Amino acid sequence: MKILIVGSGGREHAIAHKVSQSKLADQLYCAPGNAGIEEYATCVDIGVMDFDGLAAFAEREKIDLTVIGPDDPLVAGIADVFEAKNLRIFGPGKNAAIIEGSKAFSKELMKKYNIPTAAYEIFDSPQAAYAYLDICKFPVVLKADGLALGKGVLICNSLEEAKAGVKTIMVDKQFGAAGDRLVVEEFMTGREVSVLAFCDGTNIIPMTSAQDHKRAKDGDKGLNTGGMGAFSPSPFYTPEVDAFCKRYIYQATMEAMKAEGRDFKGILFFGLMLTQNGTKVLEYNARFGDPEAQVVLPRMKNDIVEVFNACIDGKLDRVKLEFEDNAAVCVILASEGYPVHYEKGFSIKGLESFKDKDGFYAFHAGTRKTETGIVTNGGRVLGITATGKDLREARRNAYMAAGWVTFENKYMRNDIGKAIDEA
């Protein structure tokens, strides 16, 4: 098969690596790709939102399957554009990707179908939101309705902060039209777990669990980022939690979407919080997580292209997903100053150390190939993943491998996976 992967981050590198191992994959393309993905795929310079350009490329090159990495094209309906041209695509259509694209939609869905989540209210005007805040207990969580690069969630500890937050989202429109509506949500505490699941419209099969680290600094301090590291499996995701989620969350969400006429085919990502009052859904995403994919996919035993095909063809009930009985940890190497201000263009050394080493991966995110070698080209530069027989060994391996790579202004958190010591 000729397969096209759409995206350019560490997640897409992990997908490309996994697809490259499939016995069904003959030729691999990636749009736009990055310096690491080039190792397995021909990278073509077409942007992820250029649906006509991508579809024209798929038609011209007779691509058999296109796999979408990021949320933006899915929420904007890339799958519908491809399907209208009879091009095979892995990813939900626009009417199902709304589960990530609108937080108001996902909250209403959960309420209607009794899927456990935080209590909430939805507002279309700042005045109504201000009035509601006057009777709230703090902290509260404010969420811009639409996509906001993972930044549209504000945790507010006082009425003053919350009013300023409403202004930021709904009046100043810091996140653009994503802030036309606002969800005000009850603040919950507990451990977070990410579970990604393959879906074929009817059936859903969850993968092994993972946890990411969103904050920039050790001890979960600093600003929210696109993710500074991850580990899999989560020791907090016990068989009891799994049984609860299978009973009340995963299949229930699939059935709810079906009942709404929004059959979900693709990856459904459950952001869960294990609270004292049980497991609740924090958010849904309609795609693989980044950096969750970088720790989950290296542990997967199945041929991923077979699983993609089963999802598209509605035959997921014939698939048995299998994961190695091991663990993986991913440490993100970022540019000092990320996520605010950072410099780019520094030469990266040490990537050759990963060649032919089983269980060690340097997934590229913000990198660029130049005549003199690979240089830094973004805030998150590389995701260094290592496996091990258990989480502690995987963590030791990941930090060892993170030390093989050097570049000016290299920054990483030193406590990725530290939580496992508390398990």
Contact positions toward ligand GLY, by CB under 6 A?
150, 212, 227, 285, 289-290, 292
- DSSP conformational letter for 389: S
Contact 316, 203 (CB under 8 A): yes
The entry of ligand GLY, ligand AMP, none that residue 153 binds, CB within 5 to 8 Å by partner kind: ligand AMP
Contact call for residue 136 and ligand AMP (CB under 6 A): no
Q: Which is nearer to ligand GLY, 256 or 332 (CB)?
A: 332
Closest CB to ligand AMP belongs to which residue? 283
CB of residue 40 to ligand GLY, shortest distance in Å: 22
CB of residue 69 to ligand GLY, shortest distance in Å: 10
Contact call for residue 187 and ligand AMP (CB under 6 A): yes
Contact call for residue 283 and ligand AMP (CB under 6 A): yes
The entry of ligand AMP, ligand GLY, none that residue 192 binds, CB within 5 to 8 Å by partner kind: ligand AMP
Instruction: Give phi and psi for 12, each to the nearest 5.
Output: -70, -30
Q: Is 120 helix (H, G, I), strand (E, B) or coil?
A: strand
Query: Cα separation of 363 and 380, whole Å?
Result: 11
Contact call for residue 75 and ligand AMP (CB under 6 A): no
Q: Which is nearer to ligand GLY, 17 or 88 (CB)?
A: 17
Q: Which of 169, 178, 188, 329 binds ligand AMP (CB under 6 A)?
A: 188
Q: Which is nearer to ligand GLY, 14 or 348 (CB)?
A: 14
Q: Which stretch binds ligand AMP (CB under 6 A): 35-43, 123-131, 184-192, 238-246?
A: 184-192
Separation in Å, CA 98 to CA 145, 293, 401? 11, 21, 38
CB of residue 179 to ligand GLY, shortest distance in Å: 19
Contact 92, 254 (CB under 8 A): no
Contact call for residue 12 and ligand AMP (CB under 6 A): no
Which helix (H) or strand (E) element contains residue 211? strand 204-212
CB of residue 117 to ligand AMP, shortest distance in Å: 8
Query: Cα separation of 59 and 71, whole Å?
Result: 23
Cβ atoms within 10 Å of 106's Cβ, excluding its own? 23
Contact 183, 169 (CB under 8 A): no
Contact 17, 297 (CB under 8 A): yes
Q: Which residues contact 409 (CB under 8 A, 6 or more apart)?
A: 335, 336, 337, 342, 343, 346, 376
Contact call for residue 138 and ligand AMP (CB under 6 A): no
The Cα angle at residue 391 between residues 388 and 397, in degrees rounded to 5: 45
What mask of x and - would describe binding to ligand AMP in positions 81 to 120, judged by CB under 6 A? -------------------------------------x--
Cβ atoms within 10 Å of 416's Cβ, excluding its own? 26
Cβ atoms within 10 Å of 182's Cβ, excluding its own? 27
Nearest to 351 by CA among 335, 362, 365: 362
Q: Which is nearer to ligand GLY, 7 or 201 (CB)?
A: 7
The number of residues that bind ligand AMP (CB under 6 A) is 14
What mask of x and - would describe binding to ligand AMP in positions 210 to 249, judged by CB under 6 A? ----x-----------------------------------
CB of residue 118 to ligand AMP, shortest distance in Å: 4
Q: Which is nearer to ligand AMP, 153 or 382 (CB)?
A: 153
Instruction: Give phi and psi for 297, each to the nearest 5.
Output: -65, -40
Closest CB to ligand GLY belongs to which residue? 289
Contact call for residue 132 and ligand AMP (CB under 6 A): no
Pairing of strands 2-7, 27-32: parallel
Q: Which is nearer to ligand AMP, 198 or 284 (CB)?
A: 284
Contact call for residue 205 and ligand AMP (CB under 6 A): no
Q: Which residues contact 277 (CB under 8 A, 6 or more apart)?
A: none
In sequence order, which ranges of 113-260 are alpha helices (DSSP H)? 126-133, 159-166, 239-245, 251-259
Q: Which is nearer to ligand GLY, 145 or 212 (CB)?
A: 212
Contact call for residue 192 and ligand AMP (CB under 6 A): yes
* Torsion sign (Cα): 344, 345, 348, 354: positive
Residues that bind ligand AMP (CB under 6 A): 118, 141, 143, 153, 155, 185-188, 192, 214, 271, 282-283
